[in-house]
Structure 1
Amino acid sequence: MSPIQDLKLTYTIPNNRKTLSEGDTIRGSVTFSLTKRVKVKRIVVKVKGDARVEWTEGGGDEETSYSGHRRYFKLKENLVPEGAELHKGSHHFKFKLKIPEEDMPPSFKGPHGKIVYMLEAKISRSWWLPSLMQEELNFTPKSSLLHNQVMCPHTGSVRKEFGVFSKGQIRLTATVDKKVCSQGDTLSIVVKISNFYSQKIRPKFSLLQKTVFRARTSTKTHEQSLCTMVGDTIKGNTEDTVSCRMRIPIDAVLTVHNCDIISVDHYLKVYLDVSFGFDPIVIFPLIIVPLRCVTRKPGKNVGPCPAGPVGPPSYSDLPPPAFPPEPYPTSGVPGYYGYPAPDPTQYANTASGFSNQWQQLVTPPCLFNAAFPPPPPTAPSLFQEAPPTYESLFPDLNYTNDFSEPDENSELQRENK
């Protein structure tokens, strides 16, 4: 029986936070008791950050294994001189370790890899197995994702023509109010649909996560749907505007762009379910960050959103979202809001046919409302660069059949809860 009993590792993070960030100092202690006098080789406390990937392909004699590893840092502190003799009884050692001020990815766990930050205490003795205590740390970086990112809306449109069983044209124009969002945040989505087609169609919304694992020259891709919502049916030969509020899951994985063997991206997929035809699809890239990373300082003045692509991402204080300062109530529908009156100086954007004057919709999560009046004429889109196509983001999938569609009855029941 080992003479080392009740080994415990305790620690605190600045401001009693539950997550660790670069530059933080970890303070803690290692406690244990000895049933007799013991000579130890060393007592060490370590903190380290590592990314690992591993998977196999093929089978039998043709099975191939792939693996990769990246170490971001490793710090250690020796608590006693090497070869020290410790008396019988209780022992208590304090330690202090400072995390490097470097750009490191957040904690992550996936089917083929993980990014893990670990704190451990180890007591080593000659000719004996070491006594080990480990605590996994939740690391969320303070920098590297939001530099020069702006809280402006995305806008994208797509047009499809059909002529096999019946002729017609469908146009989908969608706008989402932000491209940088936090865990637990809510996206406001407005879709304008022109259904010059004889068949009924339904708008659908999916929040997708795409993870790519890399080892040597090979990659392994994993896609999953985090949330799916279904809107009301749009009849043939009609035009309508549908609004939706989608909540980002509070436990959603953060976007990872600064790890060369693991990357995590998020997309909002807006599409129409068309019978006997290809579904029109618009894809919006999203960046998901911790809640504290999108908190704005009071009184900070922010200029207009720049046009065209922005600079490399990193964390920073963000300008307020591009919403009008006050809601505009719609008569007869308490709790709902329409669109602001058009500015006489605005001019129409016939290319998009959609409003960039955003109004935050005060509707419950997972609630759709197709009864909004059509939006006013609009100024040109703030973003010159069109959203990527679904096929370019998910080339390995048949985009007409990529995600199983939810059962409509169960989906509507879930929405009404």
Structure 2
Amino acid sequence: MTIKKFLIEYDAINSKNTFTNGDTMNGRIIVEVSKQTKVQSLIFTATGKARVCWHEHYGENHHHVYWADEKYYEVKHHILRETRQDGTEVVGQGTHVFPFSFSIPDRKIPSSFKGAVGKIVHKVRAELKQSLKLTKKTKAHFTFVSRADMTIPVLTEPQYGCKDKTVKLFGSGTVSMDVYTKKMGYKPGEQLHVILKISNNSTRSVKPKFILYEKRSFFAQGHRKLLTNEILKEKIEAVASSGKVTVTKVITIPRELPPSILNCSIIRLEYRLKVHLDIKCASDPKIKLPIVVLPDLPNPPTSTGLGFEAFGNPLQPTWSITPQQAAFQPVNPPPPYEAYSLYPSFPDSGKHRTAL
């Protein structure tokens, strides 16, 4: 095989190896050939897009596939163009390094995400075309984390809910509860303080429970698929009959939680805090409050953030390679990013590569 190695890699810009709006990514495409080789073109492309797909069964013999795609940006650079009269470029024997650089658009783009029926993918890829041969392809995914706009008031405003319950079966009286949180937005690892006030004017005891859970919504062709999952569950001592109590429960937001996704029209990742009172032989009164998990970026942005406009309604080291001969440079330098049209998440330090 003439082409012995074909891969693409990029440089990390922080310890978490994440990228956000407006960041510039630098990397290289590496081509190793065993002998002088004719190449028609070498193309670099960076894309960000989302896709959902799931099956719904209606009876034994009927089912329907729901799917949707959404593209956020596509940047393309011609690293090697057809320059000779025969439409080819000659690459000499050895290893060749072709550098690339591109800026991620500073606009609304959802964070990287992977779910059971949908994903949001950001990647760079390269294609090497030769006459009468299959196109060689290689790619590398990168983790994109969308900025949050901390100037949106609802993120820092207190949240409140109340509920009353009348006990009838095997008991009598009423139970009421009020739930308060200091704000809506929290970073992973941050403490969530929940104030719970209970007035138990019934003949039954009640057991308060706290549940943090996630909602994953996928949308396609006018349909929605909803998946929920409990993240953590906490409880406190029961409140006896005819008792009143005010307690503060401290819940630590797990550090591994991905940030909320509220700026994608086909995928939505939300979090809720559910507080309910366990009453035997009766339906449990419950209150749900929205929780937004904010992106934990290495360097907090100072400019206006993007991606959380939906909160208005809360209920809704340098790497180098020594080539065997000088690396080719693009015949023409890549045009500025603005020249390309725009369409309306593997952490490691160092370099990232994917071999053919």
Give TM-score, length-normalised by structure 1: 0.68
- Equivalent in the alignment of 1:398: none
Q: Which has the higher contact order (CA 8 A, sep 6+)?
A: 2
2:190 counterpart of 1:185 = yes
Separation in structure 2 between the aligned mates of residue 86 and residue 252 of structure 1, nearest angstrom: 47
Contact 1:10/1:30, CA 8 A, preserved across alignment: yes
Per-residue deviation, 1:122: 2.2
Separation in structure 2 between the aligned mates of residue 141 and residue 253 of structure 1, nearest angstrom: 11
Gaps of 5+ in 1: 298-311, 316-384, 394-417
2:125 counterpart of 1:117 = no
Separation in structure 2 between the aligned mates of residue 150 and residue 67 of structure 1, nearest angstrom: 32
Using the TM superposition, name which of 147-156 and 214-223 deviates more: 147-156
- Equivalent in the alignment of 1:23: 22
- Equivalent in the alignment of 2:77: 77
Per-residue deviation, 1:244: 1.3
- Equivalent in the alignment of 1:158: 163
Contact 1:197/1:236, CA 8 A, preserved across alignment: yes
Per-residue deviation, 1:42: 1.5
Separation in structure 2 between the aligned mates of residue 89 and residue 282 of structure 1, nearest angstrom: 66
Against the structure 1 CA distance between its residues 143 and 175, is the aligned structure 2 distance closer, same or farther, given a 3 Å change threshold? closer
Using the TM superposition, name which of 117-126 and 287-296 deviates more: 287-296
Separation in structure 2 between the aligned mates of residue 156 and residue 143 of structure 1, nearest angstrom: 25
Separation in structure 1 between the aligned mates of residue 164 and residue 35 of structure 2, nearest angstrom: 80
Separation in structure 2 between the aligned mates of residue 119 and residue 144 of structure 1, nearest angstrom: 27
Per-residue deviation, 1:155: 2.1
- Equivalent in the alignment of 1:374: none
Correspondence 1:87-102 to 2 at 5 A: 87-102=92-107
- Equivalent in the alignment of 1:267: 272
Separation in structure 2 between the aligned mates of residue 42 and residue 52 of structure 1, nearest angstrom: 29
C-alpha deviations, 1:23-81, integer Å up to 9, x for none?
11111111231111111122122110011010111155411111100111111212112
Per-residue deviation, 1:10: 2.1
2:257 counterpart of 1:252 = yes
Against the structure 1 CA distance between its residues 81 and 213, is the aligned structure 2 distance closer, same or farther, given a 3 Å change threshold? same
Separation in structure 1 between the aligned mates of residue 308 and residue 146 of structure 2, nearest angstrom: 13
Separation in structure 2 between the aligned mates of residue 102 and residue 155 of structure 1, nearest angstrom: 32
Partner-residue secondary structure (3-state), 2:97: strand
Partner-residue secondary structure (3-state), 1:243: strand
Gaps of 5+ in 2: 83-87, 317-356
Letter of the structure 1 residue corresponding to residue 203 of structure 2: S
C-alpha deviations, 1:327-359, integer Å up to 9, x for none?
xxxxxxxxxxxxxxxxxxxxxxxxxxxxxxxxx
Contact 2:34/2:94, CA 8 A, preserved across alignment: yes
Contact 2:200/2:242, CA 8 A, preserved across alignment: yes
Structure ranking higher in strand proportion: 2
Which of 287, 295, 304 is residue 290 of structure 1 equivalent to?
295
- Equivalent in the alignment of 1:11: 10
Separation in structure 1 between the aligned mates of residue 250 and residue 26 of structure 2, nearest angstrom: 42
Separation in structure 2 between the aligned mates of residue 129 and residue 16 of structure 1, nearest angstrom: 38
Contact 1:45/1:121, CA 8 A, preserved across alignment: yes
- CA RMSD, 1 decimal: 2.5
Against the structure 1 CA distance between its residues 294 and 15, is the aligned structure 2 distance closer, same or farther, given a 3 Å change threshold? closer
Against the structure 1 CA distance between its residues 275 and 281, is the aligned structure 2 distance closer, same or farther, given a 3 Å change threshold? same
Correspondence 1:346-357 to 2 at 5 A: none
2:57 counterpart of 1:58 = yes
Separation in structure 2 between the aligned mates of residue 43 and residue 170 of structure 1, nearest angstrom: 70
Which of 213, 218, 221 is residue 223 of structure 2 equivalent to?
218
Per-residue deviation, 1:99: 1.4
- Equivalent in the alignment of 1:359: none
Separation in structure 2 between the aligned mates of residue 132 and residue 150 of structure 1, nearest angstrom: 43
Separation in structure 1 between the aligned mates of residue 212 and residue 298 of structure 2, nearest angstrom: 21
Letter of the structure 1 residue corresponding to residue 79 of structure 2: L
Contact 2:214/2:272, CA 8 A, preserved across alignment: yes
- Equivalent in the alignment of 2:145: 140
- Equivalent in the alignment of 2:154: 149
Contact 1:183/1:248, CA 8 A, preserved across alignment: yes
Contact 1:149/1:313, CA 8 A, preserved across alignment: no
- Equivalent in the alignment of 1:302: none
C-alpha deviations, 1:137-176, integer Å up to 9, x for none?
1111125575333523212211111122110111111111
Using the TM superposition, name which of 40-49 and 284-293 deviates more: 284-293
Percent identical pairs in the alignment equals 26
Separation in structure 2 between the aligned mates of residue 96 and residue 202 of structure 1, nearest angstrom: 58
Separation in structure 2 between the aligned mates of residue 279 and residue 62 of structure 1, nearest angstrom: 38
Against the structure 1 CA distance between its residues 231 and 219, is the aligned structure 2 distance closer, same or farther, given a 3 Å change threshold? same
Letter of the structure 2 residue corresponding to residue 40 of structure 1: V
Letter of the structure 1 residue corresponding to residue 296 of structure 2: L
Per-residue deviation, 1:313: 4.2
C-alpha deviations, 1:158-201, integer Å up to 9, x for none?
11111221101111111112201112222011211111222222
Against the structure 1 CA distance between its residues 150 and 102, is the aligned structure 2 distance closer, same or farther, given a 3 Å change threshold? closer
Per-residue deviation, 1:115: 0.8
After superposing on structure 2, the runs of 4+ consecutive aligned residues of structure 1 that deviate more than 3 Å are: 13-17, 143-146, 292-297, 312-315
